[in-house]
Amino acid sequence: MSHFDRSGPPDIRDTFSLLVLNITFRTTADDLFPLFDKYGKVVDVFIPRDRRTGESRGFAFVRYKYADEAQKAVDKLEGRVVDGREIMVQFAKYGPNAERTQDGRIMESASKISSNKQFGGMDKDYRRRSCSRSRGRYERDGYRGRDKDYHRRSVSHSPDHCKDRGRGHDKERHNQSRSYGSPNSPKSSSPCKTHLRDESPNGQNDNKHSPTSKSVSPHSEPVDS
């Protein structure tokens, strides 16, 4: 019972999923399992990975068997430093089976234990930086080719206090060094002289397919014979 990502959901009948956020990109399920298992019976630990690169996205799902243990783990592991990063443990709201009843409660998790008073005036005043500038590589690596319209998250909401945070100074594209191709031309003496191959020697491309060609119709002009 070490590899969770190998088998799918074991049983989500009476299990509670905890969402672990702010974990390092190197943290794996095996690293979180012994950590969460110490506070309760962990049924399964799953970390959504990227389809393309296969790396963790930075958050994990810990499935507990009992809610009380899950709640305890949330209170204990919440704010715990893992791998040098403070993780955030909270009950998963959305999910594959996350059915929100009209009461506004999640029918899957946190619904049974929503009576806990710890969530009332919790001192978890995490601001989350409020700087959701970009999803990271999601918009610069490969997902940009997707047709899905990203909500953009209203970037123009208040990008004032979160504009110059990192990145240093962009300066300008110094050292662009746009030399002509490569500094060392292996074999091509002329940098541009590789085409000149197609084009029908007939002169015209293919006038036989051009319906507009009136000078090629074999029977278009009923000239006398």
Partner DNA sequence: GTTGAGCGTT
Q: Give the nearest distance from C-beta 55 to DNA in angstroms.
A: 5
- In degrees and rounded to multiples of 5, residue 115 shows phi and psi of -85, 0
Between 8 and 104, name the residue whose CB sits nearer to DNA: 8
Tokens of 128: 């989350």
Q: Give the nearest distance from C-beta 50 to DNA in angstroms.
A: 8
In 3D space, the residue among 106, 25, 113 whose CA is nearest the CA of residue 74 turns out to be 113
CB 38 within 8 A of CB 61: no
Q: Give the nearest distance from C-beta 96 to DNA in angstroms.
A: 4
Between 113 and 131, name the residue whose CB sits nearer to DNA: 131
DSSP track, 130-188: G-----STTTTTSGGG------TT-TTS--STTSSSSS------TT----SS-SS-SS-
The verdict on 9 binding DNA (CB under 7 A) reads: yes
Which residue in 41, 153, 161, 163 binds DNA (CB under 7 A)? Answer: 153
Between 155 and 216, name the residue whose CB sits nearer to DNA: 155
Tokens of 135: 């999803």
Between 41 and 207, name the residue whose CB sits nearer to DNA: 41
CA distance 33 to 29: 6
Binding span for DNA by CB under 7 A among 30-38, 57-65, 68-76, 186-194? 57-65
Residues that bind DNA (CB under 7 A): 5, 7-9, 12, 17, 19, 21-25, 44, 46, 48, 53, 55, 57-59, 61, 63, 85, 88, 90, 92-98, 108-109, 128-129, 131-137, 153, 166
